[in-house]
Amino acid sequence: MLQRLASAILLLSLMPAVRGHARQASTQTGGDAAAPSLPSARDLAARGRLDQALVELNQLAAQSPEPPGVERLRGIIFYQRDRFQDAIAAFAKAAAQDPGDRESIEMRGVSLFRTGHAAEAIVYLEKARASVQQANIDPNYVLAVCYAEVRRYDDSRHAFAAQYGFAPDSAEAYLLAGRMFLRRELRDEAAAQAAKALELNPALPLAHELLGEIALARGDLPGAIRELEAERKVNPLDPELYDRLGDAYLRTGQYTQAEQSLNRAVVLEPDSTGPYILLGETFLKLNDPIQAIQYLFHAGQMDPGNYMTHYLLAQAYRATGQVDEANREFRMVVDLQKNGLRAAPER
């Protein structure tokens, strides 16, 4: 997901230039040129006629000398079509023709990243970033992920920090890197970064919460509760905190504390389904299926596609003797699973 997001952002950053050239081409050629030309190809690409643009670009690429800018646009179109090897070759040729073509250098790195060659991508992303006085946000993000892939964690933190304008070794930078590393399932390094953030600033919001999330992911429930309670002292109005804390208490069988935390989450964020689902599960554990049905029914109305809600509802209906309703919910669980829809986040 992160790779697709970074790639989409990078394409959007390049397309305004394409559209600008397209407007110029429309003025100069009336929008339809008899012979292939780079302005005409740009116009076609900006209007979404990528196949036609590529035909013109391939004809231009066969000319000697090849017009400047052709390979960059070919690379962009190949990239949009997920033809990454062709994109890499086109961007490499563009950069060879014009060593100052930062976008082609950058996109060559991104294309390598998309093909799983993070280590090879780094040199091009670094070069692209160094070629301008103020680094573009998008190369920083992709570069940071590449550094993480090859375990250059300090470099990764510095690149993430540059994206957000943080000092590279600040508490905020360590916390940001920890969050990003956890998303890539680098739990040990995420924990180390969060711990360093707290060392630099013991009152930094969200640091204990991140450590709590890591503990939950590891199955360390006492550790998760300890960290989340510590977060509550410095950041008492975060609804996600109470959601996670309620989850941890529920899993340890501390149902009263779970109910209290989840009720706080609902008050702070009434439009999130997670606390309602967990409250339903909590009341099932407390042998109060009537209360469970109320919360689970509400969660089902908010998000009908969550099969965990329907599974718990089926249990609650069965516990109250409502057999038809229970069977209906069980059938919905089967249908949703068959269609590949989602459950509540795994705990």
Domain boundaries along the sequence of the chain = 1-150, 272-347
Given a contact cutoff of 8 angstroms between Cβ atoms, the answer to whether 221 and 215 are in contact is: yes
Residue with tokens 């292939």: 36
Per-residue b or e along 288-301, where b marks 16 or more CB atoms closer than 10 Å to that residue's CB: bbebbbbbbbbbbe
Asked if residues 34 and 14 have their Cβ atoms less than 8 Å apart, the reply is no
Q: Under 8 Å CB-to-CB from 124, ≥6 apart: which residues?
A: 105, 106, 108, 109, 112
Q: What sign for the dihedral angle of Cα 222, 224, 227, 230?
A: negative
One-letter amino acid of 65 = P
Q: What is the pLDDT of residue 150?
A: 93
What is the pTM assigned to this prediction? Answer: 0.73
Quote the pLDDT of residue 36.
Answer: 82
Instruction: Write out the DSSP string of 206-245.
Output: THHHHHHHHHHHHT-HHHHHHHHHHHHHH-TT-HHHHHHH
Q: Provide the pLDDT for residue 6.
A: 42
CATH topology identical between 1-150 and 272-347: yes
* CATH 1.10.10.10 corresponds to the domain 272-347: no
Q: Give the homologous superfamily in CATH for domain 1-150.
A: Tetratricopeptide repeat domain (1.25.40.10)
Q: What are the per-10-residue average pLDDT scores of the chain (347 residues)? A: 41 41 42 70 87 90 89 92 93 92 90 92 83 52 92 96 94 98 96 98 97 95 98 95 97 97 96 96 96 96 94 96 95 87 47
